Amino acid sequence: MMFIDKTLLILTNTPGSQDLFEQTKSRFDDQALQVRGIPKSLLPVSNRPVLSWWYDVARTAFAHTYIAANAHNYKKYEQWASDHSFPIDHIVNSGLRYNRLHHLSKGHISSTVSYFLSTSALADIACIYRVKNIGQDVVVVFSDFLYEHHPEFLSQLKEPGDCCIVSTQLEIPIAYTLSQSTLHSIEQYLEENQSSFDSPTDELTHFMTSRSGTASLVHIPHKESHEFMLPTVTLDEYLRHWSKYSPPGLERKLSSGVHFSTEPIETKAYARVGLMGNPSDGFYGKTLSLLISNFWAEVVILPNAVCDPAFSSIRIIANAASDPSHHTHLGSLSTTCLIDGYENGHRLLLACCKVFYTYCQNNKIPIDIRQGFRVLFDTNIPRQVGLAGSSAIVTAFWKGLLRFYGVTEQQISLEKQASLILSVEQDELGITAGLQDRVIQVYGGLVYMNFEKSYMDQNGYGQYEYLDMNLLPPLWLAYVAKPKDSGKVHSTIRQRFLKGDTEVIEAMNQFADFTESACQSLRNNDHHTFAQLMTANFELRRKLYGDDVVGSANLRMVEIARQNGCVAKLPGSGGAVVGMWHGQDPQSRDRDMYQLKRDLESDGFVFVNISPLAAQP
């Protein structure tokens, strides 16, 4: 790529851009709504913003590039910058200028503002020159310049001196080159010339021709892409032609020998049941948790094709069933909120990307972000019944990101992965959560977890140990078919714990002892003691939290279990129970389990036999 030893200035107040912008705001058909409020230079052409086609070349041709924005469009270009690794501090916000507003009647205020915003090219150049202390010649282009392979154009930009580069046939300016002395004279010109111009190009051309006639006029061969800069381009023309236009000669050239993903990456994370112990939401206790294959969240990452103009982009595809954004009517929307709450998977995926990228950057883990992807998710984990549904979505996506970017367990240990996945919800989204769910979903199998405080403070994670799943008795799960929000289950217990409440601290210590005893009973193949510990675990929780917090549905499921020769406890925050048969006569087991299922279903609960899931190699 040709290197041009000048600074590039990109002006966003483009000729005629306000007219097209207003058209996107005045129409409400589906096509127009897709581009509503998008500046002309950020409209997608072949799935990429217009400005991106030029910046692909400019980022290697120029050592420094600055964008002149204003207070109205700054946020739009800031977002573009973040998508293209463009330095945010290289976008200069020149504010707003209404210097002639007082001469106009009230009925013309809206159009007047637009007019004066679009005729400030010299003021924007002077602003960047002053604020960024530019010490070399500059190249000036407007942000709606749709670039295609153009060696004559690039060669001309290297030439010294002042010039206006014009496309033949159309006779419209494509770019300007300005010397240091010319840049230095802009402020004085602005002070001496208060006349208005029909467009920013007229303003620039007048200024350069007023400079003792030294500016040259250079014609370059016309390209179809130049026509996009015409101020007469309408929204209909954009939608019909330019949105699908593919600038020729811009085939993506990738480094030889570099491998990019081509096949879909499918990852799953499964529901979990807490078999023993206290919730791990900051109580520094001990838990025994099991991953089950009955329910899961699935994430599919679809790598972008190398020929895709939006090769590096990332797009989250909404799931109409699991994460609906479309509702048939207002009543449908209200019912969905009542059933599923207001949490959505979209923000979980966004936060996961942010945590993953930031950790890799901070820890110098090399990831190649040139290739992007589309991502979609689905889940069949019952919501709001304490089976770790939201953390399963994050964990599944996390596993997919590891595979897509080739990050190994040696680079991010399993212990650290669980803590990072927790931070997605806890730190990024402010959701109260604990490590237990993330640990078991990362590890799989049956895991004993010790969250002892001093170890946690020192390492940022707990001590985790696999147990043989074959030691477990057959387990079952029941949950509320139509749950309500289970977020209130913990009530004030955490606050009391943090204040040093003796009753709460002693109860948490007892939960930890139950976990130690449960692990030992399994190692001894003593299912009788394990069942007693499940009952003791539930009763302690009931005593500590109270029946109002535990909830009538959970109490009813436990009652039905006990009526049919079983024991049960809460596997999570509430809305479900996990249990096992604990009758006296083995011959009655099948009869008891049949009756248990029938009774639970008659009361509006769902019953499933648990299928444990082993740790994945």
SS3 readout for 273-288 = EEEEECCCCCCCCEEE
Give 172's strand partners. Answer: 167
Indicate the average pLDDT of the chain.
Answer: 87
Give me the amino acid identity at 69. Answer: A
User: What 3-state DSSP class applies to 530?
Assistant: helix
Region of poorest pLDDT, from 303-307, 599-603, 611-615: 303-307
CA dihedral 487, 490, 495, 499 (to 10 degrees): -160
585 tagged catalytic: no
Q: Is the pLDDT of residue 256 over 70?
A: no
Number of C-beta neighbours around residue 557 at 10 A: 25
pLDDT value at position 1? 61
Last residue of a domain, one of 426, 453, 470: 470
Alpha helices in 524-617 (DSSP H): 527-545, 547-550, 552-563, 589-602
Give me the domain span that covers residue 167: 4-244
Query: Which residue bears the tokens 């501090």?
Result: 89
Residues 26 and 171 both lie in one domain = yes
Last residue of a domain, one of 419, 440, 470: 470
pLDDT value at position 260? 81
CB 574 within 8 A of CB 495: no
Q: Label residue 85 left, alpha or beta by phi (over 0 means left) and psi (-120 to 50 means alpha).
A: left
Average pLDDT over residues 159-176: 88
Query: Which residue bears the tokens 């009538």?
Result: 552
Q: Which structure tokens are listed for 39?
A: 């500046």
More confident residue, 586 or 257: 586
Q: Is the pLDDT of residue 280 over 70?
A: no
Of 124, 437, 592, 599, which is the active-site residue? Answer: 437
Q: 370-414 pLDDT, tens per residue? A: 899 999 999 999 988 989 999 999 999 999 999 999 999 999 999
Average pLDDT over residues 497-501: 91
Q: Is the pLDDT of residue 343 over 70?
A: no
More confident residue, 196 or 29: 29
Residue 179 lies in a domain: yes
Give me the amino acid identity at 11. Answer: L
Give me the amino acid identity at 99. Answer: N
Residue 463 lies in a domain: yes
Residue 257 lies in a domain: no
Question: Cα–Cα distance between 592 and 566 in angstroms, integer?
Answer: 8
More confident residue, 495 or 404: 404
User: What 3-state DSSP class applies to 44?
Assistant: strand
Residues 375 and 405 both lie in one domain = yes
pLDDT value at position 564? 96
Residues 16 and 71 both lie in one domain = yes
Phi, psi of 12 (to 5 degrees): -90, -15
DSSP type of residue 603: T
Q: Is the pLDDT of residue 254 over 80?
A: no
Q: Is the pLDDT of residue 479 over 70?
A: yes
pLDDT value at position 100? 40
CB 34 within 8 A of CB 41: no
Q: Is the pLDDT of residue 103 over 50?
A: no
* CATH number of 524's domain: 3.30.70.890
Residues 366 and 505 both lie in one domain = no
Number of domains in the chain: 3
Cα 615 to the center of its chain, rounded Å:
28
More confident residue, 261 or 134: 134
Last residue of a domain, one of 470, 489, 521: 470
* CATH number of 240's domain: 3.90.550.10
CA distances for 186 relative to 183, 191, 192, 202, 395, angstroms = 6, 9, 10, 15, 56
Largest CA-CA distance found in the chain, in angstroms, rounded: 108
Question: Cα–Cα distance between 266 and 301 in angstroms, integer?
Answer: 6
